């Protein structure tokens, strides 16, 4: 049997790699790039080698994006007979194309010279590396196998037509596409990666559920009362219409006077909260909040399995939910995939949109090329084109161009936690078609809780309002329930920009050896993403912090949890399991990474793209992070809203 040999690439190194060509993928109810002709058999490739093997089955392991990938390969005396993925902990939907297609192609072409799968490069590299290890064990010539070509690219072209064309199969794009298809529209989606999901798959997958039933809500406490009053006062001071603030105060009063003991929320309150945390106008944030509420209601009609509400980093009000059955954002796309069955909805995977087609000032379609086989698609849209391609968080040139606060040129290191492909392509295409770029003062959101190995958000253990954040000296340095901006600035000022998020058994949200984001705890400990100890003294040693200082910090923190009073940083958000007292204890080294870009294409309240004069660009809509002010899983609501505007509120 083989030993683990795979190269350890950081997430940043991965994003700098140039090999991002796809092997293609086909998902249920969707279409990949044009398939290779059946006559293109192995003998047609002229790729046979003289490699011989010691017959048998061999096993090897290589490190992928976020886990070890174990592969078992069976050899005859002169061929690779089968390749099977035995075990992995990758993000299932992102990795499925690589884990499914590459083993088939390795056998079909007897080759290790295959292109990696778009959006799953590290997973692809691990599969190829593990099979190479197996071939070495079997006495094969790995160098020769790497020279054998894979499938040829056709370089052909296809013309298609639909009612609606969507660019991007992330949360906002797929919500729009599915809702439109449910209403009888023929929908075609361009997706740059090899899977649907976008950034929702590498985030916590949380969405604001402001109208959740009581059984999902947390108990209220005086800390939340203080936060509520702070939000209302901020909006009054910022010039929000006093009648709006008064109406939300009345909602609160009526809610609790009726005997409720659970935490209050409403779309109007969410609008006030977001104005305080993100800026922009109340009207803009209220449109977002009402869109989200409508989108959440739509999800509920599809029997979406809601989990109990929680707070998330930078957003201390516990009115966020996700799937109780799936990790991160997987649940949304499992639901979408199930509902797609029988609908006229086509996804062109690994096919990057390159140009919006126009007639005069009207957008009439999209043109793009499949990375897997070279097919160029020209797709006409009868009704509209929706750009839902994400923001520009992984485009450093655009980040520097629009930066208003982070001074990227002065930083020696840069990290991004995004899934593949968020480089502002859709924003560029919309502007070339006549749309204007909308500027915001708060326009680039950095996330202060990524791990120091993968720079990923989905490795978080526990939640921020039930944890403590300490630096390498063992001291708290910020309000853990504060804004992401404030926490990031505080974190950047710590040694090496690193802090430790500390939780205990009760607040870790670990079940059956896995975190709430699906991460294998033992693997995380092995990789240095997580420390675990039976005592706080042992945990301090693992973290490398001063034991006496750390113990004093925890003692003071537990007193703070009881009194709901933070004399040092003003924290007022405490979950019911916030105290650190039940072993085992966990600490995760965390740093910062570029997370969300808030500005983008200028749009109106109906999500229509606007030109420099504020006039709609005919037939062009923009949702999600590509739109100015759009961001997060909640942008599902904007996508759903566009489908309703185009095709009505009643399903076909």
Residue 381 belongs to domain with CATH number: 3.50.50.60
* Last-in-domain residue among 104, 120, 146: 146
Q: Residue 35 sits in a domain of what CATH number? A: 3.90.1010.20
Closest to 30 measured CA to CA, from 339, 385, 302: 339
* Last-in-domain residue among 146, 179, 212: 146
Residues 19 and 113 both lie in one domain? yes
Residues 100 and 126 both lie in one domain? yes
pLDDT in tens, 403-438: 988 988 887 778 899 888 899 999 999 999 999 999
Residues 561 and 464 both lie in one domain? yes
pLDDT in tens, 139-157: 999 999 999 998 888 789 9
Residues 590 and 636 both lie in one domain? no
CA–CA dist 621, 205 (Å, integer): 24
Local structure of 228: helix, strand or coil: helix
Residue 296 lies in a domain: no
pTM for this entry: 0.82
CA–CA dist 268, 650 (Å, integer): 25
Which residues of the chain register pLDDT less than 50? 1-32, 34-47, 651-652
Query: Domain of 385?
Result: 155-203+328-443+598-652
Residues 575 and 461 both lie in one domain? yes
CA–CA dist 269, 247 (Å, integer): 9
CA–CA dist 472, 271 (Å, integer): 37
What is the structure's pLDDT at 415?
87
pLDDT in tens, 597-643: 999 999 999 999 999 999 999 999 999 999 999 989 999 999 999 99
CA–CA dist 370, 351 (Å, integer): 4
Q: Could you tell me the two tokens for 623?
A: 């949702």
CA–CA dist 548, 650 (Å, integer): 63
Closest to 248 measured CA to CA, from 222, 223, 274: 274
Number of domains in the chain: 3
Q: Could you tell me the two tokens for 351?
A: 């096919």
Residues 134 and 179 both lie in one domain? no
Residue 533 lies in a domain: yes
Length reported for the chain: 652
Residues 459 and 582 both lie in one domain? yes
Residues 454 and 361 both lie in one domain? no
What is the structure's pLDDT at 31?
40
- Determine contact, residues 321/308, Cβ cutoff 8 Å: yes
Residues 404 and 539 both lie in one domain? no
Closest to 154 measured CA to CA, from 373, 376, 378: 373
Residue 490 lies in a domain: yes
- Determine contact, residues 315/595, Cβ cutoff 8 Å: no
Q: CA torsion angle for 315, 317, 320, 324 (degrees, to 10)?
A: 120
Residue 221 lies in a domain: no
Query: Which helix (DSSP H) or strand (DSSP E) does residue 272 occupy?
Result: helix 267-278
- Determine contact, residues 416/10, Cβ cutoff 8 Å: no
Residue 607 lies in a domain: yes
What is the structure's pLDDT at 378?
98
Locate tokens 């160098």: which residue? Answer: 143
- Determine contact, residues 442/595, Cβ cutoff 8 Å: no
Residue 258 lies in a domain: no
Locate tokens 């629009």: which residue? Answer: 402
Q: Residue 551 sits in a domain of what CATH number? A: 3.90.700.10
Q: Could you tell me the two tokens for 276?
A: 């305080």
Residue 317 lies in a domain: no
Residue 368 lies in a domain: yes
What is the structure's pLDDT at 328?
87
Q: Are strands 600-601 and 585-597 parallel, antiparallel or unpaired?
A: unpaired
- Beta-sheet strand order (sheet of 56-63): 56-63, 68-75, 80-87
* Last-in-domain residue among 550, 577, 594: 594
Residues 58 and 118 both lie in one domain? yes
Residues 473 and 589 both lie in one domain? yes
- Determine contact, residues 302/212, Cβ cutoff 8 Å: no
Locate tokens 């006030």: which residue? Answer: 272
Residues 590 and 460 both lie in one domain? yes
pLDDT in tens, 81-99: 999 999 988 888 888 889 9
For 606, other C-beta atoms within 10 Å of its C-beta total 12
């Amino acid at each position: 049997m083989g030993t683990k040999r795979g190269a350890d690439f950081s997430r940043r190194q991965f994003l700098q790699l140039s090999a991002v060509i796809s092997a293609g993928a086909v998902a249920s109810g969707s279409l990949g790039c044009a398939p290779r002709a059946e006559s293109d058999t192995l003998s047609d490739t002229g790729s046979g080698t003289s490699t011989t093997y010691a017959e048998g089955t061999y096993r090897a392991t290589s490190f992928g994006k976020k886990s070890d990938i174990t592969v078992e390969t069976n050899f005859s005396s002169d061929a690779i007979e089968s390749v099977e993925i035995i075990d992995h902990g990758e993000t299932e939907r992102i990795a499925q194309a690589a884990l499914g297609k590459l083993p088939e192609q390795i056998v079909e072409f007897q080759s290790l010279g295959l292109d990696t799968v778009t959006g799953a490069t590290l997973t692809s590299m691990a599969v190829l590396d593990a099979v190479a290890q197996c071939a070495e064990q079997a006495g094969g010539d790995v160098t020769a196998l790497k020279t054998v070509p894979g499938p040829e690219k056709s370089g052909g072209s296809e013309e298609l037509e639909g009612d609606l064309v969507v660019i991007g199969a992330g949360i906002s794009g797929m919500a729009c596409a599915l809702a439109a298809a449910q209403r009888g529209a023929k929908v075609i989606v361009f997706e740059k990666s090899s899977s649907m999901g976008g950034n929702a798959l590498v985030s916590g997958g949380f969405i604001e559920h402001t109208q959740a039933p009581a059984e999902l809500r947390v108990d209220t406490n005086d800390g939340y009362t203080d936060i509520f009053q702070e939000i209302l006062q901020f909006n009054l001071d910022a010039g929000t219409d006093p009648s709006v603030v008064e109406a939300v105060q009345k909602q609160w009063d009526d809610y609790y006077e009726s005997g409720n003991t659970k935490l209050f929320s409403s779309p109007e309150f969410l609008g006030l909260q977001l104005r305080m945390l993100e800026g922009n106008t109340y009207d803009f944030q209220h449109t977002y909040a009402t869109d989200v509420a409508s989108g959440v209601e739509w999800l509920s009609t599809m029997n979406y399995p809601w989990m109990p509400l929680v707070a998330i980093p930078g957003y201390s009000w516990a009115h966020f939910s996700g799937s109780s059955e799936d990790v991160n954002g997987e649940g949304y796309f499992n639901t979408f995939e199930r509902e797609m069955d029988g609908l006229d909805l086509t996804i062109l995977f690994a096919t990057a949109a390159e140009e919006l087609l126009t007639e005069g000032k009207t957008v009439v379609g999209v043109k793009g090329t499949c990375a897997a086989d070279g097919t160029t698609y020209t797709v006409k849209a009868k009704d509209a084109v929706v750009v839902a391609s994400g923001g520009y968080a992984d485009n450093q040139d655009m980040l520097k161009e629009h930066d208003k606060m982070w001074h990227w040129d002065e930083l020696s290191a840069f990290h991004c936690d995004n899934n593949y492909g968020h480089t502002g392509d859709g924003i560029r295409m919309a502007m070339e078609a006549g749309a204007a770029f909308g500027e915001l003062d708060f326009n680039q959101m950095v996330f202060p809780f990524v791990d120091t190995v993968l720079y990923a958000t989905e490795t978080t253990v526990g939640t921020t309002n039930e944890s403590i954040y300490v630096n390498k000296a063992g001291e708290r340095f910020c309000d853990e329930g504060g804004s992401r901006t404030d926490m990031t600035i505080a974190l950047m000022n710590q040694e090496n920009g690193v802090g430790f998020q500390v939780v205990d058994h009760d607040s870790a949200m670990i079940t059956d050896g896995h975190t709430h984001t699906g991460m294998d705890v033992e693997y995380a400990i092995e990789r240095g993403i997580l420390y675990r100890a039976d005592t706080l003294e042992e945990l301090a040693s693992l973290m490398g912090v001063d034991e006496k200082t750390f113990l004093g910090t925890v003692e003071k923190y537990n007193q703070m949890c009881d009194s709901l009073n933070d004399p040092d940083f003003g924290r007022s958000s405490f979950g019911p399991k916030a105290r650190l007292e039940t072993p085992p204890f966990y600490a995760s080294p965390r740093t910062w990474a570029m997370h969300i870009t808030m500005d983008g294409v200028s749009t109106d309240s109906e999500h229509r793209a606007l030109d420099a004069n504020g006039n709609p660009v005919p037939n062009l809509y923009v949702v999600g992070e590509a739109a100015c002010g759009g961001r997060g899983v909640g942008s599902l609501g904007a996508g759903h809203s566009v489908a309703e505007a185009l095709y009505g509120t009643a399903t076909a």
